[in-house]
Structure 1
Amino acid sequence: MGTSERVVPADARRRRRPTKQGTVLSEQLIIETVLRLIGEHGAAALTVRRLGAALGCDPSAVYRYFRDTDELLLAVADELIGRTLRDWRATGDWRADLRNLGLRMHANYLAHPQAAMLTCTRVTGRTHEIRAVETILGILREAGFPDGEAARIYHVFVDQTLSFAALDASTLVLPERARALEAEAWQETYARLPAAEHPNIAATAPVLVAEMSRSGYPAALEMMLAAAAGRLQQVKSGR
């Protein structure tokens, strides 16, 4: 889909007639359909022809809502952020609130691994993302972090979460056989290396194999929160 002057103003976008499938087009319906198609076909789903077929409408109707596929992808990214925030409630405990947000965000992206790989690096500038930035900075400032520290910790928190989401998503989209071979490598290779030649691997093998079978994000998140708490203590003590 290329840039087009056919984009219709927001107040005139609603399709008056139902599609061939009996539904009325909307931005939300298009986004949800794209998420489904990406889950089934990956980046190949981002074509107007495939989207039109799935929606039961002329592909050109999509131009009434999105200028091009990049704008559509940004909308998908913003939808994933919005789903993370949908049922989240602040508790007033900054570490618990950030932990909850981070784990929710990570899990939500992994529920849509193909979409995660396409969207984790994007800045949308849209409603849900703006709300997320405001929320996280608010948590940090209310905890007592100065503005510079709040911005820096926000940066680390979000980049860490999205980086692990992209990394773990890339594993989930591997063919089943490739995933099985990777798991076998830890169990059949690393766990069997001789201590005489690889003493550190041999000593840690039981926990290493177990650790590498799951995401490192929860542990990394705790390390980041602990470092932030230490920094906050320094700020409050005047150091």
Structure 2
Amino acid sequence: MPDEAQPKAAGLDPEQLWLRSDEPRRGRRPSFSREAITAAAVAVADAEGLDAVTMRRVAAEVGAGVMSLYSYAPDKDTLLELMVDHITAELAATDPPTGDWRADLKALAHLQRAHMLRHPWLPAALATRRSPGPHTLAVLEHALAVLRPSGLAGGAKIEVFAQLTAFVAGHTGYEIAQARTAEAPGRAEAEARYLLAVASDGRHPELLEALTTAGPSPTTPEATFTRFLGRLIDGLDTAG
């Protein structure tokens, strides 16, 4: 039986993964599909987190034997690739670019954030993915079209989109973690008191000034994200 903990030496074969038909690799055809398996894995991850997704658990969810599941996804790494691309279909762009690439890029980032909040396991999963599937490539194609008016070269446009996605994943992953931590009563207030006490010890004048100087008013997480996003996109240098 394939070992979930041991990655294959040669890694994933993207051609084998994405360009073949939705058929099992070996054995007789079962009564379920790769899409059904992937959807079941996504449902488990959404409800219980990525650690709850195992080949045995997903097999039980679709009513199959675990060995037949390996015909579609030989290991958890492959299943994760399928899961990420499956939910990326939610980001399918229907509106063409407006020509204002900065505004369009911000709109795409907000869609990505909402997408990651719906699937809290996604930011961590993106850090280990290697192979873009068809839905992921469709979003990349849209992003490149958005960036066409920027004048950036093709490689630079891909880098910008990668940078944007990394920012959204990092910020949203932190946002999700902070929301969970904030559930502890009084945690935020205790942290604020601690920082102010440290800043007032005479050894952290810059921190004291930053904490006591008026800054942005308390805002919603979305407003904070919008502010940070603006600093990132408005400051992009298109000369290189």
TM range, smaller chain? 0.7 to 0.9
User: Structure 1 residue 220 and structure 2 residue 228: aligned?
Assistant: yes
Q: Are 1:57 and 2:64 counterparts?
A: yes
Distance 1:188 1:57 in 2: 54
- TM-score w.r.t. the length of structure 2 is 0.73
Indicate whether 1:132 and 2:136 are aligned. no
Q: Is the 8 A contact 2:30 2:68 kept in 1?
A: no
SS of structure 2 residue aligned to 1:176:
coil
Equivalent position to 1:160, from 149, 163, 167: 167
Equivalent pair of 2:45/2:53 in contact (CA under 8 Å): yes
Q: Which amino acid aligns with 1:183?
A: A
The whole-number CA distance in structure 1 between the counterparts of 2:200 and 2:169 is 37
Q: 1:185 aligns with which of 182, 190, 200?
A: 190
Question: What are the Cα deviations for residues 147-172 of structure 1, in whole angstroms up to 9, with x where unaligned?
Answer: 35424423322221222232223334
CA shift, 1:61, in A, is: 2.2
Contact 2:88 2:136 in 1 (8 A): yes
Matched pairs, number = 219
Alpha-carbon spacing, 1:196–1:61, altered in 2? closer, same or farther (3 Å): closer
Worse-matched range after superposition: 79-88 or 218-227: 79-88
Q: Please give the root-mean-square deviation of Cα atoms over the aligned residues, in Å.
A: 3.6
SS in 1 for 2:51: helix
Q: CA deviation at 1:97?
A: 1.5
- Determine the C-alpha separation between the residues in 2 that align with 1:182 and 1:87: 42
Structure 2 gap ranges (5+): 9-15, 203-207
Deviation, structure 1 residue 57: 1.7
TM-score (norm 1): 0.73
SS in 1 for 2:214: helix
One-letter code aligned to 2:40: T
In structure 2, the residue corresponding to 1:113 is in which secondary structure? coil
- The Cα shift of 1:115 comes to 3.8
Alignment partners' CA distance in 1, 2:190 and 2:98:
42
Q: What is the deviation of 1:196?
A: 10
Higher percent of residues as helix: 1
Could you tell me how far apart the structure 2 residues matched to 1:214 and 1:186 are? Answer: 18
Give the deviation of 1:74 after TM superposition.
Answer: 1.0
Which shows bigger deviation, 96-105 or 146-155? 146-155
* 1:131-150 equivalence runs, <5 A: 131-150=138-157
Contact 1:117–1:170 (8 Å) recurs in 2:
no
Aligned counterpart in structure 1 of residue 103 of structure 2, from 96, 112, 127: 96
Q: Distance in 2 between matches of 1:154 and 1:33?
A: 29
Q: Which residue of 2 is the match for residue 119 of structure 1?
A: 126
Percent identity among equivalent residues?
Answer: 21
Aligned residue number for residue 40 of structure 1: 47
Q: CA deviation at 1:72?
A: 0.4
Is the contact between residue 81 and residue 129 of structure 1 (CA under 8 Å) also seen in structure 2?
yes
1:203 and 2:210 equivalent? no
Per mean C-alpha deviation after superposition, the further-off stretch among 97-106 and 192-201 is: 192-201
* Counterparts in 2 of 1:150 and 1:82: CA distance versus 1, 3 Å: same
Alignment partner of 1:68 is 2:75:
yes
Equivalent-residue separation in structure 2 for 1:134 and 1:86 (angstroms):
10
Separation in 2, partners of 1:148, 1:17:
43
1:10 counterpart SS class: coil
After TM superposition, give the deviation of residue 110 of structure 1 in Å: 1.2
1:10 aligns with 21
Deviations 1:112-132 (A, max 9, x none): 113432334423321122222
